A = this chain, B = another copy of it.
Amino acid sequence: MRVPVPLRRAYKLINHGPTTLITSAFGDRRNVMTAAWVMGIDFDPAKVVAVIAADTFTRTLVTASGEFVVNVPTVRMIDAVYAAGQVTGEDEDKFATHGLATEPASIVGAPLLSGCAAWLECRVVPEAHMQEQYDLFVADVVAAWADDASFVDGVWRFPTDEDRTLHHLSSGVFVTSGDIVKAKR
C-alpha cells in the first residue's frame, strides 16, 4: 500500500542509487523517461538533482511545468524500465505502449507510476545555468511516498526478489539491490 513518507526521510528513498523513472506532464501531454542520474543533495528541506537531457520530450514537459516525479521501480518492471529509456515519448504515449498504469500525484501534475516502490514529487528550483550547462535540474521534494512493505520505519526492505530495486549497469543489464549488510557501530 502506498503511504506518505515524511519529507526529511525522502532522501532515503534514493540514497542507495536505484535507477528511476521520471514522469512529467504539461497540458494534455505526459511522458515517462528512465533516469539513472538522479540523487539526493539535501535532507531537510529535501532536495534532489536529476540529469534531464536537452533533446528529450521530458525536458520540454519539465521546463514547461516546473515539476516532475521520481518513481523508483522494482524488478517486476525491468522491461518497461529499459524500454522507456530507448524511445522518445514525443510521438507516442509510452505509458500505453509499455502498459504503465498511473495514479494522480498529491501536489504536482505529473503522474505516479503504479507498482513502483517509492515516489518523490518534485518542483524545479530555477537554476538556468545548471540546466543549460549540465542538463542538471535541482528540485525541491514536495511530497514523498513509499510502498509500506518496501520501506518500513524509514528503512528499505526488499520483501521478495521481485521487490528489489534496479541499478542500471549498461545496455539493459541491471544489478538488483542485494543483501542487507551492517557495519560495526
Contact = CB atoms under 8 A, between A and B. Distances in A.
B170 A175 contact: no
B15 A36 contact: yes
A177 B175 contact: yes
A99 interface: no
B136 A184 contact: no
Contacts of A42: 134
Contact of A166 (B158, B174, B181): B181
A1 to B, nearest CB: 21
Given A41-B136, A136-B41, A156-B175, A79 B183 contact: yes
Interface in A19-42: 19, 36-42
Given A15-B36, A168-B16, A75 B155 contact: no
